[in-house]
Amino acid sequence: MIHPARLAIATVALALAAGLGSATAQTPPTSAAVDPARIEDLVAANRILAEEGVLDAYGHVSIRHPSDPTRYLMSRSLAPILVTASDIMEYDLDSNPIDPQGRRGVIERFIHGEIYMLRPDVNAVIHSHSPAVVPFGITQVPMRPVIHVASFLWVGVPVWDSRDVADPASAAMLVRNAALGRSLALRLSDKPVALMRGHGNVVVGPDVQMAVRYAIYTEVNARLQAAAIAIGGPINYISAEEGAARDKGERDFARAWELWKKKALGK
């Protein structure tokens, strides 16, 4: 057992070391350099989602830092179609920018940090105002898969309502602090998609390519489900059994990514 006096001395020494560290460092340490190919994919994701009508002037995409799981990377506050590699900023999981260099971060960055904290399986997060999903966040009809490419929705699509959070900022509906971000992350739970009432959605994936695919086909599914409801009568949804079988089946996602990236980056 460590003697209490020794423990106190050790604690003081640690505190001093920490104080000295913060006094001498001009900026907090940044993580190791990121492979430019990963940054290119993140830039491509921004532009792809804008071109596919998921993001407009608003909304954002992030990736977990490839070599530091306690950090994430996301563009400064900028319309996604305009994002370039030099706009990518690094954040810690409390959503503090590490070395902003005068760049302004997005207001709703807390969505990203709080999800990365709760979901170690998630390496990419998208927040969008994906228009076709909004009706499913304000009515009583749950979003369910109606097309095979959106079969991942079989696990259910929870709806988060900012009004359920006892926080003074909740009435303005934006996820502008950690408490609101945490509440949304808890509502998302282990799912790939959660709707945000009167606002949009959050989509997550094991990598940015999968998250982009989920975000695009969630928007497509919302349009098709609304069309099916408009036709009327019972709807023959994709079943849980089919969804689970497709989750385990052979995948050929690279084909779509190459197409989307070529269209978005012109190369």
The one catalytic residue in 108, 114, 242, 250 is 108
Q: What are phi and psi of 231, to 5 degrees?
A: -65, -35
Question: Catalytic site residue 241?
Answer: no
Give the three-state DSSP class for 187: helix
Q: What are phi and psi of 127, to 5 degrees?
A: -115, 125
- Distance in angstroms (rounded) separating the CA atoms of residues 111 and 108: 6
- Distance in angstroms (rounded) separating the CA atoms of residues 33 and 90: 11
Asked if residue 53 lies in contact with residue 131, where contact means CB atoms within 8 angstroms, the answer is yes
**Residue 42: CB atoms within 10 Å:** 22
Q: Give catalytic residue positions.
A: 108
